[in-house]
C-alpha cells in the first residue's frame, strides 16, 4: 500500500500508519457490509417478491440485536482507546532527547541548536536520536507539520509548545506550516535534513559559534534591568534566580509551583500573578517590552544556571 501515504521516516510514523490502515480496513469492511445488506434486502424485498414478511424469529430480534450493538460499541471504544493512547505517548519526549528551539514567525521557521548554531527554514538532525522541539510563536498561530514524521503541532503565541520525533531514515523531508497564518502562509516551508550521527556532529561543529540563547539571555538580563534586582549581588529584596530552574517554589498564597519554562515566562510577562512567598509584588511587567525571542533567551539563561542534578529537589 505504499504510495498512499508519504514516506514514513520516524518511529511515530509506523504507529500512525498502522492505526490509519487498520481504520481504513475496518471502515471498508463495515461499508461493504452495510451496502451489501442494503443491496440484498432491496432485491429480496422488492415489490412483488414472494419473500416472507412475517415477524422475525425471537432470537433474531433480541439476542442478535443486543449482540451487534455491543460488538460495534466495543469495537469503537477499542479504536478510541488504541488511537488516543498512541497519540498520548507521542506527547512525552524520551529522556536524553536533543533539545532544539524553534521560533515561528510570519513567515519563517527560525531554529536554534543547543550549542547556538542557528538556521532558518532548515533543521539538521541526527538519525535514530530523539529530538525535542521547544517551539514559540512571535505573532500568530503556526503549525509545525512534517508529514514524513507524522507530526503536526500548533505553535500558539504566548505559550511554549513541544513535540518530538526520532528520525529513522536519512534524507531530506519537507516541513510545512499547517495553520493559515497570513499572506505568505503557503511559502512558510522548510526542510528537515536527517544525517548520519558523524555527519551531524561535523555539521554542528562547522556552524559559526554565534551567541547562543543562554549567552544572549545573559546579556539581556543585564541590559533589560533584571540584574538590578535579581542578580546574586543585588541589595534589592527579590528572588535570586541562580539554581531556581526546576525547583519547587512556595507562593505567597500558599500554592507551590515548579519553576519551569512556563512559570519563568509568566513571571516575566505577568509578574503580579504568582508572587513568591516572602516578597512584595513590586516587579513591573515586561509584556510588550521583550519579544518572544528575548523571553526565550532569558529562560535559557535561567535554565543554564540550574544546579547539578543531584542538588536539585
Q: Which is nearer to ligand CUA, 109 or 245 (CB)?
A: 109
Q: For residue 292, state whether it binds ligand CUA (rule: CB under 6 A).
A: no
Min CB(262)–ligand CUA separation in Å:
22
Q: Which is nearer to ligand CUA, 15 or 152 (CB)?
A: 152
Q: For residue 142, state whether it binds ligand CUA (rule: CB under 6 A).
A: yes
Q: For residue 214, state whether it binds ligand CUA (rule: CB under 6 A).
A: no
Min CB(86)–ligand CUA separation in Å:
26
Q: Which is nearer to ligand CUA, 110 or 306 (CB)?
A: 110
145 forms beta bridges with 152, 176
Q: For residue 303, state whether it binds ligand CUA (rule: CB under 6 A).
A: no
Q: Which is nearer to ligand CUA, 139 or 266 (CB)?
A: 139
Query: 153-192 mask for ligand CUA (x: CB under 6 A)?
Result: ------------------------x-xxx---x--x----
Q: For residue 124, state whether it binds ligand CUA (rule: CB under 6 A).
A: no
Q: Which is nearer to ligand CUA, 125 or 155 (CB)?
A: 155
Min CB(190)–ligand CUA separation in Å:
11
Binding site for ligand CUA (CB under 6 A): 107, 142, 177, 179-181, 185, 188
Amino acid at each position: 500500500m505504499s504510495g498512499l501515504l508519504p514516506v514514513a521516516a520516524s518511529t511515530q510514523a509506523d504507529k500512525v500508519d498502522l492505526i490509519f490502515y487498520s481504520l481504513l480496513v475496518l471502515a471498508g469492511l463495515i461499508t461493504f457490509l452495510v451496502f451489501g445488506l442494503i443491496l440484498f434486502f432491496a432485491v429480496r424485498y422488492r415489490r412483488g417478491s414472494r419473500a416472507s414478511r412475517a415477524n422475525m424469529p425471537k432470537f433474531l430480534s433480541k439476542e442478535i440485536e443486543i449482540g451487534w450493538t455491543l460488538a460495534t460499541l466495543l469495537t469503537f471504544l477499542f479504536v478510541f482507546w488504541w488511537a488516543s493512547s498512541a497519540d498520548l505517548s507521542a506527547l512525552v519526549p524520551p529522556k536524553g532527547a536533543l533539545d532544539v528551539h524553534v521560533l515561528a514567525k510570519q513567515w519563517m521557521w527560525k531554529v536554534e541548536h543547543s550549542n547556538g548554531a542557528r538556521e532558518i527554514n532548515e533543521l539538521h538532525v541526527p538519525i535514530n536520536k530523539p529530538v525535542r522541539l521547544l517551539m514559540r510563536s512571535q505573532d500568530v498561530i503556526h503549525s509545525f507539520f512534517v508529514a514524513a514524521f507524522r507530526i503536526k503541532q500548533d505553535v500558539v503565541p504566548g505559550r511554549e509548545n513541544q513535540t518530538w520525533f526520532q528520525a529513522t531514515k536519512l534524507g531530506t523531508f519537507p516541513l510545512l506550516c499547517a495553520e493559515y497564518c497570513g499572506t505568505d502562509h503557503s511559502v512558510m516551508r522548510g526542510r528537515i535534513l536527517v544525517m548520519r550521527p558523524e555527519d551531524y556532529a561535523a555539521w554542528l561543529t562547522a556552524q559559526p559559534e554565534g551567541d547562543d540563547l543562554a549567552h544572549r539571555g545573559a546579556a539581556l538580563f543585564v541590559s533589560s534591568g533584571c540584574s538590578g534586582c535579581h542578580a546574586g549581588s543585588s541589595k534589592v529584596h527579590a528572588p535570586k534566580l541562580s539554581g531556581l530552574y526546576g525547583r519547587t517554589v512556595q507562593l505567597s498564597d500558599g500554592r507551590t509551583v515548579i519553576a519551569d519554562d512556563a512559570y519563568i515566562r509568566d513571571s516575566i510577562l505577568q509578574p503580579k500573578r504568582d508572587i513568591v512567598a516572602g516578597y512584595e509584588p513590586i516587579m513591573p511587567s515586561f509584556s510588550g517590552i521583550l519579544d518572544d525571542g528575548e523571553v526565550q533567551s532569558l529562560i535559557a539563561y535561567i535554565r543554564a544556571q540550574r544546579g547539578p542534578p543531584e542538588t536539585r529537589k
